[in-house]
Amino acid sequence: MSDTAPAGERDLPTSAYARSFGSEAARYHQTRPSYPTAALELVLGGPTGPEQAAGPAGAPDRRRFLDLGAGTGKLTALLLDRGAEVVAVEPDPDMLAVLARQLPQVRALTGRAEAIPLPDGSVDAVVAGQAFHWFSRPDADREIARVLRPGGVVGLLWNIPDRDVEWVGELYRATRKPRLPGPGRFDPLDPELFGPAEEAVVPSEHQLAGAAGLRDLVHTWSWVITRPGEEQDAIDQRLRILIGRHAELQGPVVRLPQRTEVLWQRRL
């Protein structure tokens, strides 16, 4: 991996798109999807997560999992039943405030992927849900490697709506999604620090509270949040037309077909 990020990539964490989510933190938490348990188990290796390290006198240390770029805690919540200490790191104070209210048992810290506020070698697993594409690299690669114990795993997850479904493709066209900054695909973490990348796709579905829930979801997308008010109104008008054309969008539950993409690597 090059020591210099592509033009503009180091600015990703401070871009208008990346900084937009806090203004819609409550709606984000209400309408964004969680992640399939099966997807997380691909990273952590089962319901109890990575094997415990031996502590003093052979006693196992308590494991520590880090959710990096945790947002409002969608992925964080899934880590809680695994007998580990859970730490969430998120740069946006409004997003982090929602997480702290929802998950008071989690250690919630303000921080960035490029400057993680944890000691060297202090976590067994790092996960990032719907966040890695906002990290500045290679800085984030090095920071993740720094906080991971040798053999620890980093797992990256994304929920991707299925645009091959007619109405989903129309939905994206209705919002006039631009090309966002950053890489268009996953680029494995630094091979000098991490082992080979593994990847999988888990089919999933997100259920929304009718047409209103679909509209709310759209208003958590960064390219919609950052539009002027009149453009958001125009998007809403196009959504109303779209909903009127598709009976499956008019009931009390709208089922958004999606897939969850998972990529993971181990710290060397």
Structural domains of the chain, ranges and CATH numbers in brackets: 9-161+195-205+257-266 (3.40.50.150)
Average pLDDT over residues 172-182: 80
Residue 66 has pLDDT above 80, yes or no: yes
CA distance 254 to 249: 6
Average pLDDT over residues 217-238: 96
In Å, what is the CA distance from 88 to each residue of 56, 110, 119, 163?
A: 27, 8, 14, 31
Average pLDDT over residues 167-190: 82
**Neighbouring residues of 259: CB distance < 8 A, sequence distance ≥ 6:** 159, 160, 162, 201, 202, 203, 204
| Average pLDDT taken over every residue of the chain | 89
Q: Which two tokens stand for residue 182?
A: 């950053």
**Neighbouring residues of 56: CB distance < 8 A, sequence distance ≥ 6:** none
Find tokens 């000098």 and name the residue. Answer: 192
How many C-alpha atoms does 92 have within 13 Å on its Cβ side? Answer: 26
Specify the pLDDT at position 264: 97
Q: Which two tokens stand for residue 94?
A: 């409004």
CA distance 262 to 219: 25
Please answer whether residues 62 and 82 qualify as being in contact, where contact means their C-beta atoms are separated by less than 8 angstroms: no
What is the value of pTM for the model shown?
0.89
Residue 3 has pLDDT above 60, yes or no: no
Average pLDDT over residues 35-49: 84
CA distance 24 to 39: 26
Specify the pLDDT at position 70: 98
Say how many C-beta atoms besides its own lie within 10 A of residue 96's C-beta.
Answer: 23
Residue 80 has pLDDT above 80, yes or no: yes
Specify the pLDDT at position 76: 98
